[in-house]
Homo-oligomer: A and B are copies of this chain.
Amino acid sequence: MAARTHRPRRRTEALSRERITEAAVELLDTAGESGLTFRALTERLATGAGAIYWHVANKGELLRAATDAVIVTALATPPAGAAPRDRVRAVALGLFDAVEAHPWVAAQLSALPYQSTAPRIFESVGQQVKALGVPEEHWFATASALVEYILGAAGQNAANTATARALGPAPDRGEILGSVARAWEGLDAEEYPFTRAVGDQLRAHDDREQFLAGIDLILAGVTALHLQDGPRTPREH
């Protein structure tokens, strides 16, 4: 913009881990997991393969960095002020939406274990568990259960979205659920009585709402099992 800047021009901007990660996220978002190749990256960054390897050890590290970037953004604004219960919902929903927007992170998150990115999620959820007033001896188990549910639900949702996208461009929620519902209708009625019976509920449900209903189920369990006679929330002041 200003002519006097000392910054390097756009076209020759130095390569960096950040720029590479940013380009990787964009490629993953637009072309899916198979779209992230070093050739596509070198083209987009107008450089050679060796230049990328100077900044990043290998493809696995690049995928981890991309996943971490998405999750850090999703957890960036900690939910403040609201009741602990609503803060749990807010953190969970933030993660759910991030995975929905970047379906490829689901596979990454369940590939990595309690390392790199996972502790960020665990910490965010855990702090809300503590705020709920859960007794300390149940902190780990409660936070784990919530994180596992969140990752599982977000992953299933991402898979559905990704599959629907593969069928056609930019499908809306109705189309996605419709295609799954049609698949269910093709199931054998003898073998799948329950699944067939809830086909209408599948069609009618709202993903985000139902995700939160699952969170509420766990929170109700926490209340019943761990908050019975303790205070519901710690004193606020």
Chain A positions near chain B (C-beta within 8 angstroms): 106-107, 110-115, 118-119, 122-123, 126-127, 129-130, 136-137, 139-145, 147-153, 155-156, 158-160, 162-163, 180, 183-184, 187, 191-195, 197-198, 201-202, 205, 210, 213-214, 216-225
Contacts and interface: CB of A to CB of B under 8 A. Distances in A.
A221 B210 contact: no
A76 B221 CA distance: 30
A94 to B, nearest CB: 17
A217 B210 contact: no
A110 B201 CA distance: 21
A159 B113 contact: yes
B217 A142 contact: yes
Contact of A107 (B111, B139, B140, B221): B111
A54 B195 CA distance: 33
Q: Point out which of A129, A152, A163 has the most chain B C-beta atoms below 10 A from its C-beta.
A: A152
Give the secondary structure class of A's interface: helix
A106 B155 CA distance: 11
A119 B184 contact: yes
B143 A198 contact: yes
A158 to B, nearest CB: 8
- The listed residue with most B CB atoms (<10 A of its CB), out of A122, A160, A195, is A195
Contact of A113 (B126, B144, B180, B220): B180
B194 A130 contact: yes
B114 A180 contact: yes
A63 to B, nearest CB: 13
Contacts of A225: 216-217, 220
A45 B195 CA distance: 38
A35 to B, nearest CB: 16
A197 B195 CA distance: 42
Contact of A139 (B141, B143, B160, B197): B197
